[in-house]
Amino acid sequence: MATTISARPQQRPYSDPDTTEAFQVLVTLPDGPGKERLRQRVITAWLPLAHRQAARLRERGEQLDDLQQVAALGLVRAVDRFDPERAVAFEQFAIPTITGELKRHFRDYTWDVHVPRRTQELRNKVRKAVRELSTTLDGRSPTVAQIAEHARLAEEDVVRGLEALESYRSLSLDVALDRGGDNDDYTLLDTLGSADGRFGLIEDREAVKPALARLPERERRILYWRFFEDMTQSAIAAELGVSQMHVSRLLTRALARVRTEVEQNEVGQDEGRGDRAAA
């Protein structure tokens, strides 16, 4: 015997289905294709209810299609958990289940910056209070004290909720900053700094310091004059009273010693990291 699902006449722009008989049959059927078909018919019949609950939250910035999918998941759970023996209509049972699923979605997946659940709740209370107060203040923004009194919150909690309002959506780096001017290509990204290429020089300088300290005094002095004072080899030779060729040989020998020591230290550090990783 087929179970019928009909529309229940109501004084509303929509009619909820009459699934009383279907639910009574569902709880008696064993798991199998027949029960699954009837379950799918009940879910399909009540799907407009889920979509209406999703539509009420579309102004929060989420895509309606995404909200409808979340609401449909809540509806499925409501159908699976509903007991027709309860003295409550399915609609009264399903709506809290669907809205609870939607609230969890907003709490867990739609924040660009993660904040604790307590702060999210404060944000919602503050947002509601601001919206309600804005209708009575002639367009003026309510103060923290006014929000606290209206929402029955401590002022510190109001401040935390206001800060959370800015965490729900982050500002894109591609947003234009000069929309009223001629330079529409100037974005937030253009105001940010970039990595300084001289950081590599700092690392190199620190790496050669121990090797330089072990050079003979004269070779350290020659390297300093050449690379920090920018003296020519001829000028260094005149300072030391030696030939320019001799200065060239000393520079080559000193640089080779420093390079060899630095390379050996790097190899030793790599081997040490490998040993620790293997351990």
The number of distinct structural domains making up the chain is 3
Mean pLDDT of the region 7-19:
64
Q: How confident is the model over 167-188, as pLDDT tens digits?
A: 655 555 555 666 555 555 666 5
Predicted model pTM: 0.42
Mean pLDDT of the region 135-159:
83
Three-class SS state of 7: strand
Q: How confident is the model over 203-228, as pLDDT tens digits?
A: 777 878 888 888 899 999 999 999 88
**Residue 6: what are its φ and ψ, rounded to 5°?**
-120, 165
Q: Are residues 125 and 178 in the same domain?
A: yes
Euclidean distance between CA atoms 117 and 103, whole angstroms: 12
- Bridge partners (DSSP) of residue 7 are 17
User: Hey, what's the torsion of the CAs at 208, 214, 216, 217, to 10 degrees?
Assistant: 70
At residue 166, does pLDDT exceed 90? no
**Cβ neighbours of 221 (radius 10 Å):** 15
**Residue 236's pLDDT band (cuts 50, 70, 90):** very high
Which residues span the domain enclosing 122?
117-191
Write out the DSSP string of 171-193.
Answer: PPTT-BS-TTSS-TT-BGGGGS-
pLDDT of residue 89: 86
**Cβ neighbours of 38 (radius 10 Å):** 19
Euclidean distance between CA atoms 72 and 98, whole angstroms: 8
pLDDT of residue 143: 87
**Residues 261, 214: contact at Cβ < 8 Å?**
yes
Q: Are residues 206 and 246 in the same domain?
A: yes
Euclidean distance between CA atoms 20 and 8, whole angstroms: 11
pLDDT of residue 263: 84
Q: Are residues 123 and 102 in the same domain?
A: no
CATH number of the domain enclosing 148: 1.10.10.10
Q: How confident is the model over 27-65, as pLDDT tens digits?
A: 888 989 999 999 999 999 999 999 998 888 776 666 788
Percent of the chain with pLDDT over 70: 70
Mean pLDDT of the region 269-276:
59
Average pLDDT value over all residues in the chain = 79
Q: Are residues 101 and 10 in the same domain?
A: yes
Q: Are residues 84 and 124 in the same domain?
A: no
Question: Does 69 fall in a domain?
Answer: yes
Closest CA to 50 of 104, 106, 102: 102
Q: Are residues 167 and 208 in the same domain?
A: no
CATH number of the domain enclosing 10: 1.20.120.1810
- End position of a domain, from candidates 109, 136, 151: 109
Question: Does 1 fall in a domain?
Answer: no
Question: Does 230 fall in a domain?
Answer: yes
Q: Are residues 95 and 71 in the same domain?
A: yes
Q: Are residues 138 and 187 in the same domain?
A: yes
CA 229 to chain centre: 50
